[in-house]
C-alpha cells in the first residue's frame, strides 16, 4: 500500500492505494496548525478506523502548495509510518514537459493533475480543478504543459461577498431553484454558481479557439467540480480522484529510482 497526500490551501486530502485501487480517503483542514505528533496521531487513528496498519504502507508521496505544513507532516510520516515521502517538485519524473515561461512556478498540484489526466485520458486535454482557486491547464497531444489559467475559486468568491460586505451572509454553495432570485441567499447562490458556469464555458471555448484544438478533452476535478460539471456540456469528464490518482502514478514512475522508505526531495526539471 502507498499513502498519497495532497496538501491544498483549504484541505489536506489523503488516499491509501492498494495497487491501483483507492482503498480509503480522508480529509483534514489545512489551516489548523498541527505538530508532527498531532499529525501522526490523527493519521494512525484514521488508518486504524479503516483497518489499515501503518506497517502495510510501503511508501508515501506528497504534493503540497502550503510550505508551512511540510516540516511537521514529513516528520509525522517518518516517525509514525516509517516512510520517507517523495515530495513532488522540480526533478520528479512526470512524463509531462513544461513549456511555459517559468516551469518552476507551476504548482505541484497542477502537475499532478496534468499527469493523471494525460495518463488516464490522453492528450490533448484541458484539466479543470475547482479548488481554492479554479485552474485550467492545457496539456497537448505530445504531453506538453502548454498553458494555464488561474481564477478565484467559488468558495473564495463566496467568502469575499460575506466578509467584505456589511449585510451579505455566509451561505451554502449550491445551485438555486432559479437564476431569477427573489431573496438574498438564492441571489448570491445564483451569482456564484451560474457565474462559475459561465466562466467555465467561456474559458474552455476561448482555449479551444486560441489553441486551435477543437477535439480537446475537458476533464474536471476538485470539491465543487461536480456541481459545475453537472450543469454544462463544456466539461466532458468529472473525476473526483484525479489528484490522488496522479500521486499514485507519480509514485510508481519514480519508484525505480528510489527506495519507498527513503526520503527523496525532488529537484531539477519535470
Distance CA 168, CA 161 (A): 7
In the chain, the DSSP E strands lie at: 2-7, 11-18, 21-29, 59-64, 86-87, 97-98, 125-130, 133-139, 144-152, 217-221, 237-238, 264-265
Report helix, strand and coil shares of the chain as percent, to nearest 5. Answer: 40, 25, 35
Quick one: DSSP state of residue 169? Answer: P
265 membership: H or E segment, kind and range: strand 264-265
User: Is 109 an annotated catalytic residue?
Assistant: yes
Phi and psi angles of residue 164, each rounded to the nearest 5 degrees, phi first: -105, 5
**Whether 103 contacts 193, CB under 8 Å:** no
Q: Which three cell numbers stand for residue 143?
A: 504531453
Alpha carbons 36 and 34: distance in angstroms, whole number: 7
Q: Which of 6, 109, 129, 137 is catalytic?
A: 109
- Determine how β-strand 21-29 pairs with β-strand 11-18: antiparallel
Tell me how far apart the alpha carbons of residues 210 and 134 are, in angstroms, rounded to a whole number: 20
Q: How far apart are CA 154 and CA 146, in angstroms?
A: 25
Specify which residues 150 forms β-bridges with: 135
Q: How many Å apart are CA 65 and CA 56, to the nearest integer?
A: 27
List active site positions. 109
Amino acid at each position: 500500500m502507498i499513502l498519497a497526500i495532497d496538501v491544498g490551501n483549504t484541505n489536506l486530502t489523503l488516499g491509501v492505494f492498494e495497487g491501483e485501487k483507492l482503498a480509503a480517503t480522508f480529509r483534514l483542514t489545512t489551516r489548523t496548525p498541527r505538530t508532527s505528533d498531532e499529525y501522526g496521531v490523527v493519521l494512525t487513528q484514521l488508518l486504524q478506523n479503516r483497518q489499515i496498519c501503518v506497517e502495510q504502507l510501503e511508501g508515501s508521496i506528497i504534493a503540497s502548495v502550503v510550505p508551512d505544513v511540510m516540516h511537521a507532516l514529513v516528520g509525522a510520516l517518518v516517525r509514525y509510518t516509517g516512510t520517507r515521502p517523495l515530495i513532488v517538485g522540480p526533478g520528479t519524473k512526470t512524463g509531462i514537459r513544461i513549456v511555459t515561461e517559468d516551469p518552476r512556478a507551476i504548482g505541484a498540484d497542477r502537475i499532478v493533475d496534468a499527469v493523471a489526466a494525460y495518463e488516464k485520458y490522453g492528450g490533448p486535454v484541458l484539466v479543470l480543478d475547482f479548488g481554492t482557486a479554479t485552474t485550467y491547464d492545457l496539456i497537448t497531444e505530445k504531453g506538453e504543459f502548454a498553458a494555464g489559467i488561474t481564477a478565484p475559486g467559488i468558495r473564495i468568491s463566496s467568502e469575499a461577498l460575506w466578509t467584505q460586505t456589511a449585510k451579505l451572509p455566509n451561505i451554502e454553495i449550491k445551485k438555486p431553484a432559479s437564476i431569477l432570485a427573489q431573496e438574498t441567499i438564492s441571489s448570491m447562490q445564483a451569482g456564484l454558481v451560474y457565474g462559475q458556469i459561465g466562466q467555465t464555458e467561456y474559458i474552455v471555448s476561448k482555449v479551444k479557439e486560441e489553441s486551435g484544438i477543437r477535439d480537446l478533452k475537458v476533464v474536471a476535478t476538485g470539491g465543487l467540480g461536480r456541481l459545475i460539471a453537472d450543469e454544462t456540456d463544456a466539461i466532458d469528464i468529472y473525476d473526483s480522484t484525479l489528484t490522488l490518482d496522479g500521486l499514485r502514478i507519480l509514485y510508481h514512475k519514480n519508484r525505480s529510482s528510489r527506495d519507498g522508505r527513503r526520503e527523496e526531495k525532488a529537484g531539477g526539471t519535470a
